[in-house]
Structure 1
Amino acid sequence: MLKSLDDLEFIFPWRSYQAELLKHFNSHIADNHFHVIAPPGSGKTILGLEIVRKLEKKTLVLAPTLTIRNQWEDRLQNFFTENCDFEAYSFDIKAPSDITFSTYQSLHAFYKTFEDKNDYYQFFKSHNIETLVLDEAHHLKNAWWNCLMDLKRNSEFYIVALTATPPYDSSRAEVSKYFTLCGEVDDEIAVPDLVREGDLSPHQDFVYFSKPEDLEINFIVDYRRDIADFKDKLLKDEVFINFLIEHRFYKNPNWHLDELYSNTEYFSAILIFLYACGFEIDHQKLEVLGFEKQELIQFPKLDLHWLGILFQNILVLDREQLIEQEKYISTLEKQLRRLHVFERNSVDFIGEQLLYKSLSNSPSKLKSIVSIVKAERESLKRDLRCVILTDYIRKEFLNIKTEEIEDIDKIGVLPIFQYVRYYCNRPEELAVLSGSIVIIHQSILRHFETIASLDDFSFSSLQIDESFLLVTSKGKPKNSIVSILTQLFEAGYIRVLVGTKSLLGEGWDAPSINSLILASFIGSFVSSNQMRGRAIRKDANAPNKTGNIWHLACVDPTDLDGGREVDTLKRRFEAFVGVTNSTIPFISNGFERLNIPDEIPVEQIDTLNESTLNVATKRILTTEKWNNAIGKGTKLTKEVKVLHQGKRPYKRQQQIYYFDVLRFFIVELLFTMMLFYVEFVAQSFHLILQRGVFYFIYALLAAFIGVFGYKLWKAAKLYIRHGYLYKKIGKMGLAILDTLDELGYITSGRASINVNSYVLGKGDVVCNLVGANALENSLFAKALTELLEPIESPRYLIVKTNFFRKRLDVENFYPVPELFGDKKENALVFQKHWKHYLGQSKLVFTRSVEGRKLLLKARLFHVYNAFKEVTKEVMVWK
């Protein structure tokens, strides 16, 4: 225990959400990890220092930048000491003290100085450093991660990880590495907590859609038509069909089982293509994979995803094995290159890169920005504080002539500046702030001079508009240009500021921002969330501030769902918790809370945008919605939503495919039986007189089975396969919950936790825990999601089967969640609780020969949903 840390004591009262988080400290740190998600403004640094104080161990605090590193020492002195007199700290990683503040870059550089890494591990042991604090942990890059993970593997540490946004949208490998280092999320300070306490402003996200230019539409339509023509010709191409029939996977699958196990998507793509051609799949090929003669696979439609998988393997991954057909494959490659489908060893029929680059950079977004700025200015008048962030500067548009503005074909800082300058009123309120170009209006020079000496800067008029000045600094002035323009913006002399997200994104602070336009299309939702954080901070000078965050999307006219840009936004919105736009508001994450239609036809975009602007300017409603929604809950709860599939209206689909088929059948039966009995008795009354009542009853039963037997058989089969879905998922949830409890993951007390499962209006099924803490919720949601998603490569499978199911060909396969599948004894615990709630099943180890065959069979059963979003983890304030 360190005596120096005894002198530290937080000298202010804790906010309620901070106190709640610290209350569970002992249970969270039990696994030597404390991983906290907290938005900007929630006091992450203060919490980190309190955790360090509680652990009472020598500590290394790592931050992504020197500025943030210095903030740690500043908060320590000003919030944990009376006289800023704590001395047992260091900024030098080579000379550590009781608390050492450094950066990830410094640790990595230090790591590289050791030829023998054992000396590196020994250094930390000899200095008794036992706690690592990882600030803004989402910044961890590969090199930084390696030196930390290497250290963690070879020494015992308490790991305290603090972040505003985990990198959920990174690759699965990156996300896995992140959680391996930081541990599972222990607790989260929710945005609603901060809004309720007055530490964040009420705010709302809005999406403004744009239509591509005619040239872009023609390009997209031509591209789609060319791909469709290629696909149609391919389906009739006897040479290609024969090429697939002769492929070793199809011709002799039992000779290549190991390859099939490792690449089931490729084999599936071959089968799906042949099936789409009308080719009858030889069932003997499937029997070797575990399918019985009568079992049917529901093949999905041959879409561009499956076509892409097929050609990615043929042209790249499997090419060496197809060397005898190289001449033919080369002709296929040339065809795809001409279609711009095959580039850099990657096949892309959907055009994600080609079309996305075109739409994300569309000049139509410049008109969107003008519309938003005009509407916000009209609504807020002199109170407007609008920041527009984008990725590139585009210096070639600095001195573009007025008559050429319409010809701008790229989005960037200077194109936005030119459009807003030309099309919006009051250009004197406009400024540009980027790393290499700074522009202000000459009318604010006198205010500029009150902050800094004009002699430290040079000013030159723009050729296109002499009222605007290009500002460059001479040497190193006392006040940086960023600081000066920030002060001018805060004071209201600049009301519309255009800049790059790299300069004005994370770390830049201007609490007065009340309108943020994100014209950025590069980067993950980590950076998007950091940029949003700029607009939702509380402004002491405007206590009633509300923040509008604007997202831009250019719609793909050939895709009713909106295309890749809308998909990207939907993914990013998984990280944003906010209030819904519904009549009865509630707080949730996800794109759905904006109430934007699932389909976005181009002809409806103007109406949609007009409605959005109308809602956005009624800022008092945003505050009212937050106040109403916050009162309906106390904490964010993670739910698993099983998404309703298909385009049919839910009620109709429920009757035909979903899980009330028996009730539907009984209702139908009652109606038709009435007619059947009346008709049968009338026609067969003579049988009673001639042969007696028993003969009549036998005839009635035979006729009944003849008329209703098949329907009853079909209904029973559907029910056995699916059951009532929400009840079934509830039982799965109970099996997971009891397994978590038996394996020691439940610390809140099993008796106080319940599983809640129900159906929403659109047909989605929702399942969540009631009474659990954040970590228990997170583990439960992750396990249930894995259980319901299409099968990939679990170590164990649960096969729900019995004699009756076998006769009906309705075996069901479920992957044992990774949390329980690491050891056989854990998997057996899960199977025990599964049997209790869901009946007989067998546990199969998929790494054996028979197990791998069954795994492939299970994957092929799930192939229909391979590219569908089956489940979604949702955060809801309850």
Structure 2
Amino acid sequence: MACLFGAMAFRHSWRSYQARILDDLEAHLDDRKLHIVAAPGAGKTVLGLEIIRKLGLRTLVLAPSLLVRDQWIDRLRSDFLSDPDVDLSQYVSTDPAADVVFRVSTYQSIHQRRGEALPACELLCLDEAHHLRKSWWHTLSQLAEHHDCVTLSLTATPPYDAVAHEWANYDALCGPIDAEISAPELVATSDLCPHQDLVYTAVTTCSAQYMRNVQEEAESFSQLRADREMLAQIAAHSWIVDCKKHADEILNNAQLFSAMLVYLQDAGCSVPTYARRLLQIEIADIPSLSWEWLEFLFAGLKKDLPATILDVLARSGALHNDRITLPARKFTKRTEILQDDASRMQACLEIHALERSIRGPGLRQAILVDRVGRLSLKSALPSDGYNAASMFQRLLSDGDPGDLAIMTGQFIVLPRGLAEGIESKDLPDAAGYVLLMGRSFDAAVTRANQAFRFGEVRVVIGTQAFLGQGWDAPSLNSLILGTNLSSFVAVNQLRGRALRIDRFAPEKSANIWHLAILPDEDVVGEDLTALERRFACFARIDRDAGEIRSYFAPEQRSDVQNAKALRLARSYETLHSDWAEALDVGDDIGGRLVRESCVNWRQSQLILPRPRGVAHWFRGLIGQPIPEAEVERMLLRLARVVLESLRQLSEIRTDHDARLYVAKGAVGFSVGVQNASRFEETLFHDTLRELLNPVANPRYLIQLPSGLFRRNAQFFAVPSRFDGHKRRAQVFWRNWQAMVGRGTLTYTRTIAGRGVLQAARLKSAGHHSETHLLWR
């Protein structure tokens, strides 16, 4: 073992951000899991190799593809060994069953061999760990548990947008994120090029169909919300008729009981006084009827639903295989109507025309679509489809510049002059272009990449499936994401293609285009919501604000949004200076990407503990808000409760120079912690968000009486980091008493506690906070 690891020595100088992680290595290994997020270009492979060298353990590295697998051995030879050609067969193997100290294989190979006994593994290195969400996760969890090994997880794109159980699986295997090398850091050190993410909108050609779907949903909701038979059935239900007698039953199913009250209240029916007393709520606390409440109600009373309700559910598709799902799929999947081919095609063509006009011969563009469309190449006229072949035909019909190419996993299309010496077929009705496939495919890919670099090809039309995995094109400076992508992982992988520096063009800057198809001229809709979720996951430059941040605030009208995007695209030549100004925070030690928990002004009035006293009560009575100074003070107190509790339980080990701050912005307030590690910062914000967001299902609650006669109440969940055991909850409670000073700690796993829990859910349903990324 020592023969390999002892002979390894990095042959270059470590970059500052790499050295930072290596210096803190021991601090991150307390839980035997090291999880590193490194943006494209950060050198995560050499970083992984150095960590493996330092630990000196029998290692199994797993990668998502043969290409990435082989890169590990290439980097080992070229960057860590004095003689790159030395025979490594005694120490290194790509066979996971080989009994050597350093094995490199693929996730597929390990999954296929599940159940087989493999040689001992002391360190399991998971490269591009974001792939581990389904079947591979189960196989690798068993492998890690069997060998009781340290895990090293490396990724550029954690699956932040995964559903809850998939993120839980990912977190259980990889552990919390210990360290991060962000894209802004790499731009600051010239390891990534300056870039900007631009949103271009288009109004769907299927607007009438979309609006019909919206109207159908409204009609379906209206038919379900005030059904006379349903109302009569609820009013006659034993829980409503005699709440007191059935109190224990009600508290054991408080969610269904609450749904009954919401339905009655929405129809203007009276809600029994004892029902409100049982749940410790007032009339004003009963939320508005929603699809979620209807689903709770109908699922809970499914065996006794009136025929009228069952008919509406069946006609809308909400009743399927004896299961009720609201709203019906045809309403939740309304975004599929927006994915019409014509709108996306036109948007891509308009963006392409702009980029070609402003960049001229310097253009190196990729247009990514979902489908190949090979049959469209046989057509003499451009097809109506939205695929790589149709996009190619439309660009040809607009005036062929002779520099187009198609790159898919099935075939390549190149200008005829670039295919000399490679077997090809002429394309009908595309003079000057040839089709390459079969045995010619690999040679064609190499030729296309070379042509793109030298400008003989300036526009590549391809599929996300092909170009999104390992396409090597450092000269790429314009990327149009014309795909129907919703996954943050897939989007960020594609963005990474454009962020690479080009050593032949040090002045390179990149435009990355995101499409949003809208139901009308207003910048709203499901596509826009998906974009906002996407943008929340990575930091980007906001040139107008002079900031690097994650959140996205579009213009209100489509034409205004597009005019802004086009203006910013035209000024790509000033991206270098704009990034330099945004990165310069006026601090000698330089800026860093931080996380902040954000509460807008309206939410601050709902969430925060209300000040005590007659004056504050009277101010609330006449509709005056909590003063800004009081909001900042209370946010800081809540943040201190979280930070001190985590410290006292040794969850956070930052020295006492860690400093909390509250900053007031244009729309609300931000809370942050300085001088904390990436792991500690994330843990702090995740915990604070649980305190500020709607109550879910905590073991312990804090109940705050409020109002002049203390008849009202506010509720806060004791965050999950503390509520697993009474001793831990008491730590949080003592800090709460010291810093907030009032309230009652309630255990929710008793009958009475379940009633308090349901009251907390109802009263906190509208609470909302967000976590943003910001360069400070």
Q: What is the match of residue 683 of structure 2?
A: 779
- Could you tell me whether the CA contact under 8 Å between 2:191 and 2:501 is conserved in 1? yes
Which residues in structure 2 correspond to 1:670-819 (within 5 Å)? Answer: 711=618, 714=621, 724-749=630-655, 751-762=656-667, 764-801=668-705, 807-819=709-721
In the alignment, the residues of structure 1 paired with residue 562 and residue 322 of structure 2 have an alpha-carbon distance, to the nearest angstrom, of 36
- 1:427: how far off? 3.8
Instruction: Please tell me the residue identity of whatever aligns with 2:669.
Output: V
Q: Alignment partner of 2:460: what SS?
A: strand
Instruction: Please tell me the residue identity of whatever aligns with 1:89.
Output: V
Instruction: Please tell me the residue identity of whatever aligns with 2:697.
Output: S
- Could you tell me whether the CA contact under 8 Å between 1:362 and 1:554 is conserved in 2? no
Deviations 1:321-372 (A, max 9, x none): 53344644432333424x9999996333695544211102341121111111
- 1:538: how far off? 0.2
- Could you tell me whether the CA contact under 8 Å between 2:694 and 2:766 is conserved in 1? no
In the alignment, the residues of structure 2 paired with residue 45 and residue 657 of structure 1 have an alpha-carbon distance, to the nearest angstrom, of 44
Tell which deviates more after alignment, 386-395 or 218-227.
Answer: 218-227
TM-score of the aligned structures, taking structure 2 as reference length: 0.92
- Could you tell me whether the CA contact under 8 Å between 2:287 and 2:762 is conserved in 1? no
Which residues in structure 2 correspond to 1:130-169 (within 5 Å)? Answer: 130-169=122-161
- 1:252: how far off? 6.2
Q: 1:831 to 1:715 in 2, by over 3 A?
A: farther
In the alignment, the residues of structure 2 paired with residue 837 and residue 138 of structure 1 have an alpha-carbon distance, to the nearest angstrom, of 40
Q: What is the match of residue 49 of structure 2?
A: 49
Deviations 1:83-125 (A, max 9, x none): 0237211211112311111111222222234xxxxxx4xx55x
Confirm or deny that 1:24 pairs with 2:20. no
Tell which deviates more after alignment, 11-20 or 249-258.
Answer: 249-258
Q: 1:46 to 1:664 in 2, by over 3 A?
A: farther
**Which of residues 531, 537, 540 is equivalent to 1:575?**
537
Confirm or deny that 1:101 pairs with 2:104. yes
- 1:415: how far off? 2.8
Deviations 1:215-260 (A, max 9, x none): x111122222233334445555422322443456655667877886
Instruction: Please tell me the residue identity of whatever aligns with 1:506.
Output: Q
In the alignment, the residues of structure 2 paired with residue 622 and residue 217 of structure 1 have an alpha-carbon distance, to the nearest angstrom, of 36
- 1:395: how far off? 4.1
Q: 1:642 to 1:488 in 2, by over 3 A?
A: same
Q: Alignment partner of 2:597: what SS?
A: strand
- Could you tell me whether the CA contact under 8 Å between 1:209 and 1:609 is conserved in 2? yes
- 1:841: how far off? 2.9
- 1:148: how far off? 1.8
Q: What is the match of residue 335 of structure 2?
A: 356
CA RMSD of aligned residues (A): 3.1
Q: What is the match of residue 587 of structure 1?
A: 548
- 1:33: how far off? 1.3
In the alignment, the residues of structure 1 paired with residue 297 and residue 98 of structure 2 have an alpha-carbon distance, to the nearest angstrom, of 53
- Could you tell me whether the CA contact under 8 Å between 2:127 and 2:155 is conserved in 1? yes
Larger helix proportion of the pair:
1
Tell which deviates more after alignment, 510-519 or 326-335.
Answer: 326-335
Deviations 1:161-182 (A, max 9, x none): 1010110111011111111111
Q: What is the match of residue 771 of structure 2?
A: 873
- 1:16: how far off? 1.0
Q: Alignment partner of 2:10: what SS?
A: coil
Q: 1:447 to 1:244 in 2, by over 3 A?
A: same
- Could you tell me whether the CA contact under 8 Å between 2:609 and 2:634 is conserved in 1? no
Confirm or deny that 1:298 pairs with 2:196. no
Which residues in structure 2 correspond to 1:169-184 (within 5 Å)? Answer: 169-184=161-176
- Could you tell me whether the CA contact under 8 Å between 1:199 and 1:538 is conserved in 2? yes
Q: What is the match of residue 516 of structure 1?
A: 479
- 1:391: how far off? 1.0
- Could you tell me whether the CA contact under 8 Å between 1:460 and 1:469 is conserved in 2? yes
In the alignment, the residues of structure 2 paired with residue 136 and residue 301 of structure 1 have an alpha-carbon distance, to the nearest angstrom, of 44
Q: Alignment partner of 1:184: what SS?
A: coil
**Which of residues 468, 471, 487 is equivalent to 2:436?**
471
Q: Percent identity?
A: 30
- 1:580: how far off? 1.1
In the alignment, the residues of structure 2 paired with residue 711 and residue 90 of structure 1 have an alpha-carbon distance, to the nearest angstrom, of 75
Q: What is the match of residue 698 of structure 1?
A: none
Q: Alignment partner of 1:873: what SS?
A: strand
Q: What is the match of residue 115 of structure 2?
A: 112
Q: What is the match of residue 638 of structure 1?
A: 595
Q: 1:495 to 1:245 in 2, by over 3 A?
A: farther
Q: What is the match of residue 395 of structure 2?
A: 420
In the alignment, the residues of structure 1 paired with residue 567 and residue 665 of structure 2 have an alpha-carbon distance, to the nearest angstrom, of 29
In the alignment, the residues of structure 2 paired with residue 481 and residue 264 of structure 1 have an alpha-carbon distance, to the nearest angstrom, of 65
- Could you tell me whether the CA contact under 8 Å between 1:799 and 1:843 is conserved in 2? yes
**Which of residues 362, 365, 376 is equivalent to 2:355?**
376
Deviations 1:592-621 (A, max 9, x none): 4xxx22xx3xxx322331231121111122
- Could you tell me whether the CA contact under 8 Å between 1:269 and 1:307 is conserved in 2? no
In the alignment, the residues of structure 2 paired with residue 313 and residue 358 of structure 1 have an alpha-carbon distance, to the nearest angstrom, of 29
In the alignment, the residues of structure 1 paired with residue 392 and residue 72 of structure 2 have an alpha-carbon distance, to the nearest angstrom, of 37
Q: Alignment partner of 2:479: what SS?
A: strand
**Which of residues 731, 743, 759 is equivalent to 1:841?**
743
Q: Alignment partner of 2:145: what SS?
A: helix
Q: 1:32 to 1:713 in 2, by over 3 A?
A: closer
In the alignment, the residues of structure 2 paired with residue 513 and residue 505 of structure 1 have an alpha-carbon distance, to the nearest angstrom, of 13
TM-score of the aligned structures, taking structure 1 as reference length: 0.82
In the alignment, the residues of structure 2 paired with residue 528 and residue 807 of structure 1 have an alpha-carbon distance, to the nearest angstrom, of 53
- Could you tell me whether the CA contact under 8 Å between 2:125 and 2:151 is conserved in 1? yes
- Could you tell me whether the CA contact under 8 Å between 2:285 and 2:763 is conserved in 1? yes
Q: 1:575 to 1:354 in 2, by over 3 A?
A: closer
- 1:489: how far off? 1.4
Q: What is the match of residue 627 of structure 1?
A: 580
Q: 1:851 to 1:324 in 2, by over 3 A?
A: closer
Instruction: Please tell me the residue identity of whatever aligns with 1:417.
Output: F
In the alignment, the residues of structure 2 paired with residue 243 and residue 290 of structure 1 have an alpha-carbon distance, to the nearest angstrom, of 24
- 1:146: how far off? 1.1
In the alignment, the residues of structure 2 paired with residue 874 and residue 579 of structure 1 have an alpha-carbon distance, to the nearest angstrom, of 13
- Could you tell me whether the CA contact under 8 Å between 1:89 and 1:96 is conserved in 2? no
In structure 1, list runs of 5 or more residues that go unmatched. Answer: 114-119, 647-652, 667-709
Q: 1:810 to 1:345 in 2, by over 3 A?
A: closer
Deviations 1:17-64 (A, max 9, x none): 111121111111122111110011110011111111111111111111
In the alignment, the residues of structure 1 paired with residue 623 and residue 293 of structure 2 have an alpha-carbon distance, to the nearest angstrom, of 36
Deviations 1:508-539 (A, max 9, x none): 11001000000111341101000000011001
Q: 1:329 to 1:797 in 2, by over 3 A?
A: same
Q: 1:149 to 1:262 in 2, by over 3 A?
A: farther
Q: What is the match of residue 187 of structure 1?
A: 179
- Could you tell me whether the CA contact under 8 Å between 2:276 and 2:283 is conserved in 1? no
* Greater radius of gyration (CA): 1
Q: 1:657 to 1:347 in 2, by over 3 A?
A: closer
In the alignment, the residues of structure 1 paired with residue 251 and residue 371 of structure 2 have an alpha-carbon distance, to the nearest angstrom, of 45
- 1:567: how far off? 0.7
In the alignment, the residues of structure 1 paired with residue 164 and residue 757 of structure 2 have an alpha-carbon distance, to the nearest angstrom, of 21
- Could you tell me whether the CA contact under 8 Å between 1:514 and 1:546 is conserved in 2? yes
In structure 2, list runs of 5 or more residues that go unmatched. Answer: none
Instruction: Please tell me the residue identity of whatever aligns with 1:836.
Output: A
In the alignment, the residues of structure 2 paired with residue 421 and residue 54 of structure 1 have an alpha-carbon distance, to the nearest angstrom, of 55
Instruction: Please tell me the residue identity of whatever aligns with 1:757.
Output: V
- Could you tell me whether the CA contact under 8 Å between 2:45 and 2:75 is conserved in 1? yes
In the alignment, the residues of structure 1 paired with residue 502 and residue 613 of structure 2 have an alpha-carbon distance, to the nearest angstrom, of 57
In the alignment, the residues of structure 1 paired with residue 248 and residue 191 of structure 2 have an alpha-carbon distance, to the nearest angstrom, of 57
Q: 1:257 to 1:177 in 2, by over 3 A?
A: farther
In the alignment, the residues of structure 2 paired with residue 871 and residue 224 of structure 1 have an alpha-carbon distance, to the nearest angstrom, of 28
Which residues in structure 2 correspond to 1:492-571 (within 5 Å)? Answer: 492-557=455-520, 562-571=524-533
Which residues in structure 2 correspond to 1:228-307 (within 5 Å)? Answer: 228-246=218-236, 250=240, 266-291=256-281, 295-302=282-289, 306-307=290-291
